[in-house]
Amino acid sequence: MLHQRQRWSVCALRLFDLSRHQALAGCAITQTMPYSKLPKLMPPDLDNTLKTFLEFAQPLQTYQDFEKTKKLTQEFVKSGEAQTLHELLVDRAEKLNNWLTPWWLNIAYLQARTPLPIITSPGVAFPPLEYSGEEGQIATAAKMIQAALNYHHKIISDHLPEDKAGKVPFDMSQYKFLFGTTRVPKLVQDEIVYGASKPKFAQHILVTRNGHTFYFPVYDQNDIVLGTDVLEGLIRDYVIPNSQTRVSHPVNLVSSDDRDTWAKLYEKLKKRNPQEIQAYEDALFILSLDSQVPVNPDRNRYEEQMRQQLTGGGADENGINRWFDKTLQFNIGFDGYSGLTYEHTPAEGPPVANLMDNVCSRFESNTFVKESSNEPVDVPRELKFNVDQSDEDVIAGSAAALNRAAFDLEVRFLSFREFGKNVPKKAKLSPDSFIQMAFQVAHYRLHHILPPTYETATLRKFSEGRTDTIRLPNPVSALFTKTFVDNRENQSAKELAKLFRDAVTSHKNYSVRAMLGQGIDRHLLGLRLIASEKGIDAPKLFSGDAYRKMTHFRVSTSQVPTRFVIPMGFGPSAPDCYGICYNPQEDAIHFTLSAFNSCKETSAKKFAAELERVLNDFKTLLEDSGDLSNAKL
């Protein structure tokens, strides 16, 4: 049985050649998964969008301002502008497989000139692994390489089970974009180069240590992934001895800077060192061997771990190891704390989280192949770039900018273990909506402001679908939030619980609507973009007070569930915003919260403490009202 398992592991790691669409040669493998043909995303009903726009605008405005918004909306309809733009949008949708995604990739990602760390590129943290020191780091790195490539082969051979919400199938295309993909910096608009679009996937990764970057082969001459013994030996013999000191001017630091600054240097590097840049763009992923970081009494180990994934801790720590353009970068810490930095353009969080879950399962089962079937296809070599004094000045400027950004970011981790999804489920409430209402109340208690809140709504029920927005507050949620905080003592438990249930239900109903392609945010964006594309003046609705307030999020959230405790984190989307990623499990809820230190109004530490109180208050409310009286918790 052991022999069969090892044979299966080796066979499953054979390189898959996309240009010939060959099966994994010589392997008795399970049948490929037949993925569903999904419907096309179409623009939602115009009248419903504008009616719902007003519903979401009302809690954010004064009576006088809301009256102006209603008038602007009426003029938008009566003038014929709304219908004209909607019909143009429908025409676009009929011609394209997905009317939204190409625009979304450009607007949300490729045209943005802001730096990738913190705002765009999330960080993901593995559970603590049992290793420490250089030898433990090397052994873990070898296993990480093999586990990641095992998942890569499942993706490209269509052996992943189809993601579903209940019985509804999800689009699986984002998985194909994870490996070998690079966001290439360009002036005005970046370019995304997918590994899956090339005739054949590369046979190498890049390994970074102390700012040194190495071309690193991961397959043998039989197109099979190298065994962990050989991978360890290559790291030990080639990487470690040639990266003992820190590089003074690592060019990859500039990938953390604004996109135009990086694009200018990148173009120069491509002309001077074309082979090095090609090796970077083609690499399946990057693996960083990070240095030990000093203990900070203000951060626990999990918070420091997330900080390393988001920024590398700055240029003075492990930021010199990061190439932020690569979709996947596994960061192996020195002391058992590892994770991943991922560039967001090609994929949303769930495919990356599933990759991480799969890697954790491999470590848990310890199913790794030690021996190789043949010699490596190549030997590692350091990628060295020719830089002049002006380039060194740019690198120094980028280093300073990354240090400022890392210093400005506050990251907190809250592992709430009083209960998890079990309590809202017992009360027949949506766990996600329960948690979102906790964000509303926590923010209102701290700031006495109803926060415009973004939550990711997946559109993967549609072909090539990405996301829309589930938003709060709405009139029903606003009524509960204000009553619970400002007028709680004048309400009975049953009255308050009724308001709470109504608020949770209103959020749940809109969540379902948004994930069915009936949300308002992407529809309104589409109307604005089609006007620009056709040379039509932007409607006044989009410069109004309501639209401005609704698109300035004070709380930006995303739920990314995993089987293991694998926190994901990202930075705030605005200076006065909180970034919150959460993972609800049956008996616990894990939160990664972020804020900017430079904003004196916000504090992730205070928000985490208030959030914990609110969640317990919600449970007490449900107990006092009798909603949990028959529940066995």
- Residue 7: the pLDDT is 26
| pLDDT tens figures, 230-247 | 999 999 999 999 999 999
Structure tokens at 78: 């009566």
User: 526 Cβ partners below 8 Å, 6+ apart?
Assistant: 43, 89, 99, 100, 103
Q: How far is CA 9 from CA 18, 214, 419, in A?
A: 20, 27, 39
- Phi then psi for 400, rounded to 5 degrees? -65, -40
Q: Which residues, 6 or more positions from 135, have their beta carbon under 8 angstroms from its beta carbon?
A: none
Confidence label for 295 from pLDDT (cuts 50, 70 and 90): confident
Q: In angstroms, rounded to a whole number, what is the distance separating the alpha carbons of residues 517 and 526? A: 13
Q: For the residues 16-25, what does the mean pLDDT come to?
A: 30
Residue 20 in this model has a pLDDT that exceeds 60: no
The residue count for the chain: 633
- Burial letters for 301-338: b for 16+ Cβ neighbours within 10 Å, e otherwise? ebbbbbbbbbbbbbbebbbbbbbbbbbbbbbbbbbbbb
Active site residues: 344
pLDDT in tens, 178-218: 999 999 999 999 999 999 999 999 999 999 999 999 999 99
Q: Which helix (H) or strand (E) holds 495?
A: helix 493-513
Least confident span in 10-14, 76-80, 133-137, 307-311 = 10-14
Q: What would the pLDDT profile of 472-504 be if each residue is shown by its tens digit?
A: 999 999 999 999 999 999 999 999 999 999 999
Say if residue 13's pLDDT is above 90: no
Domain 46-105+417-624 has CATH 3.30.559.10: yes
Residue 393: other Cβ atoms inside 10 A:
12
Q: What percent of the chain has pLDDT over 70?
A: 94
Q: What is the pLDDT of residue 630?
A: 61
Which H or E run includes 164? Answer: strand 164-165
| Residue 382 confidence (pLDDT) above 50 | yes
Residue with the two structure tokens 């609704």? 550
How confident is residue 32, by pLDDT bands cut at 50, 70 and 90? low
- Two structure tokens written together for 551: 């698109």
What's the average model confidence in pLDDT over 285-292?
98
pLDDT digits (tens, 9 = 90+) for 335-352: 999 999 999 999 999 999
Would the pLDDT of 14 be above 80? no
Split at pLDDT 50, 70, 90, the class of 11 is: very low
Average pLDDT, the chain: 93
Q: Please answer whether residues 567 and 590 qualify as being in contact, where contact means their C-beta atoms are separated by less than 8 angstroms.
A: yes
Q: What is the DSSP string of 293-349?
A: ----TTS-HHHHHHHHHHHTT-TTTTGGG--TTBSEEEEE-SSS--EEEE-STT--H
Percentage above 90 pLDDT, the chain: 93
**Helix, strand, coil percentages, rounded to 5, for the chain:** 45, 15, 40
Q: Where are the domains of the chain?
A: 46-105+417-624, 123-161+172-410
Say whether pLDDT at 3 is over 50.
Answer: no
Q: Does residue 592 surpass a pLDDT of 60?
A: yes
Give mean pLDDT, residues 150-174.
96
* Average pLDDT over every residue of 556-571: 95
Residue 30 has pLDDT above 50, yes or no: no
pLDDT over 80 (residue 467): yes
- Asked if the domains at 46-105+417-624 and 123-161+172-410 fall in one CATH topology, the answer is yes
Q: Which of 602, 590, 215, 521 is nearest to 529 (CA)?
A: 521
Q: What is the pLDDT of residues 300-327, one digit of tens each?
A: 999 999 999 999 999 999 999 999 999 9
- Mean pLDDT, rounded, for 513-535: 98
Identify the pLDDT of residue 15.
41
What is the structure's pLDDT at 576?
98
- Kindly tell me the burial class for residue 586, based on how many C-beta atoms sit within 10 Å of its own C-beta (0-12, 13-18, 19 or more): exposed
Contact 344, 112 (CB under 8 A): no
Residues pairing with 413 in the sheet: 592
What would the mean pLDDT of 95-123 be, rounded to a whole number?
A: 96
Q: Which two tokens stand for residue 296?
A: 């900070």
User: Which residue reads 């997946």 in tokens?
Assistant: 458
What are the Cα distances from residue 323, in Å, to 206, 318, 422? 10, 11, 40
**pLDDT confidence tier of residue 631, bands split at 50, 70 and 90:** low
pLDDT computed for residue 18 by the predictor: 31
Task: Report the topology of domain 123-161+172-410.
Answer: Chloramphenicol Acetyltransferase (3.30.559)
What's residue 33's pLDDT? 67
For 450, other C-beta atoms within 10 Å of its C-beta total 19
| pLDDT confidence of residue 294 | 87
What is the DSSP track for 434-488?
Answer: HHHHHHHHHHHHHHSS---EEEEEE-TTSTT--EEEEEE--HHHHHHHHHHHHSG
